[in-house]
Chain A
C-alpha cells in the first residue's frame, strides 16, 4: 500500500469516526430532548383534557340546534350565538324559578354524612364477617373490613382535598368550555376539510367517502350516549325525589354518568343510592321503591326497552370482554375519568373499523360486477 493511499484511508476512517460520533451524539440529544418535549407537552396539555372532552360533548349536543337555526337562512356564527343566548336564558329562568343551588350547605352536609354512611357500611360488613368467620375460619387471614375502611378513608380524603382545588378548575371550565365549543361548532367542518385535502389524489375519494360514513355514525353514537346518560340521570333523580332520600340530584348525576359504562356501570351507579337509602331510611317500602327506580324503571324499562333501541345502533355493541379491557386500560391511563370514557372510545374505534371494512367490501363488490360484465 502506498503512503498516499494509506493517508487517504486514514482520512476516511477519521471522517467515518467523526460522522458516527456526531450521529450518536445527535441521536442521544434528539432522544433526550424528545422525551423532554413529550414531558413539556404532557404538562402543557395536562389540564386541557377535561375541557376539550366536555367541549366536544357540548358541540355534539348543540350541533342539531345550530343546524335548526341555520336552515332558517341565519349564518352559522349567528346561529351559534342564538343557541348560546337561548341556553343562557333557559338557565337563568330555571335559576329564577328554583333558586340557585346551595352548594356550600350541600358540600358541608355531604362532608358530615359521608363518614356516617361509611361507618354504617363497615358495621354491616363486620357483622357479615363475624358470621362468615364462624363458618369459614380460614377467612380470618383476610381483613376485608379493614381494607374497605382504609379505601373509604383514602377516598374521603381525596374528595375533601380535591373539592376546593377542583372548584377552581370548574371555574375555568365555565370559561373554557363555551369558548372551545364555539370554535368547534363554527370551524370543525373547515378543519376536517383541510385535513382531508392533505390526502394524496389516489386515495382522496376513498378517504372522503369513509370519513363521511364514519363521522355520520359517530355523531349519532355520541349524541345517543349523551342523551341516554342525561335521560337516565333525570329519571333517577325524579324517581328518587319522590322519597325522603337526600342528595337525589347528586345520585341522579352519578347514575347517569356511570350508565356510560355498559354492564358494570349501572350496578356501580346504584350502590351509593342504595347505601344512603339503607342507612337513612332502613329497609322498607321506600327502599324497595328506590331499588325499583334504579333497576326496573331506570335500567330495564327506560334503558333496555326505550333508549337503547332508539338511540344506539347495534353496530356499537361491544363484547363484554372488550368492555372490561377498555375499562381497565382507560383506568390505567386517566383514572376514574378514563374508566368512564374508555368504553365509548372503544366503541368509537369499533365503529370506525366496521365502516372501513364495509366500504372496502362494497368496493370489492363493485369491481366484481365490472369484471363479470366484461366477460
Chain B
C-alpha cells in the first residue's frame, strides 16, 4: 500500500488468517464443549496449539494420515461432536476428496474442514502446496458450505460462526501476515455478502486475501475519478446472488478477484449468476490455468496478475466493455 493512498479501510497491524482460525477455534471450544479438534501433524502451522493445550481430551493428533482424519471427524460428528479438522488446503481437499464426498458431504455430517496455506501467498513452498483448485472442488459438492475470509478478524469470526452452524463447511485461510482491516467485533453471517465500499462505475467482488487488494484498488481508481464498489464475498457457497445482482444492476460491470484458478472459483460462480439473470461484462482476476511456483507472496501476486494494480486494469477494461 502506498502511503499517499487514501483507502477507505486502514490497518495498523498485520496478522495471518491462520491465527484468526486458531484463536477462533479456542473461543468456539470454550463456548461449546462439543467442539473437538483433529490435526494431521501440523498443529503449529494451523495454530491449533492453544486449543490442544486447553482441551487435551478434545484434541486428536492423527499423524500424517488425512484420509483417516476425515473419517474420524465424520464418526465423531455422528455422536454429536463438532469436529474441526486441520491441515493444509491441498491435503484438506484434493488428497481426500472422496472421503469428504462420501463420509462428510453426502452423509451431511457436521464436520468443519479447516484449510490453511491456501493459494499463491503461501509463497516459497511452491506449487505442490499452493492449491488453486480447492474452492472449485469444495463448491461442487452438494451440501457443502464454502467460506474464504479476508483477514485475521474475519477468519476468527467465521471460525466461531461455523461452530454454531449445523452442516459440512470448508473454511479456507492462509499463511502470510496480512493487513487486519475489518473490525474485531464483526458479526459473521454465512452466505451474506458484505458491501465494504459503495460505488457506481464498477463492482469488485473479492474474496480472501484479495479483498485487501480490492480495497487498495478502489483508492487507486478513485484517484482517477472512477468510483468502484467493493463487495467482500467471504462465502463462496451459498453465494449471495441477490447482493451480486443488485450491485451489478447499478454499476453495469464487475471484476471478480480471488487467489484461485479462474476455473471453478468465485469468478465462475458470479459469471453463472449474471448469465442466468442479468448478463454484464465481467473481468477475472485469478490464476489462468497454471500451477504456482516459489517466491515471496507479493512477488507471486504480481507475477500471476492478482494484485491491486491488476484489479485496477481489469476494472477499467470491464468499464470499457459496458
Query: Are both chains from one complex?
Result: no
B interface residues, Cβ below 8 angstroms from A: none
A interface residues, Cβ below 8 angstroms from B: none
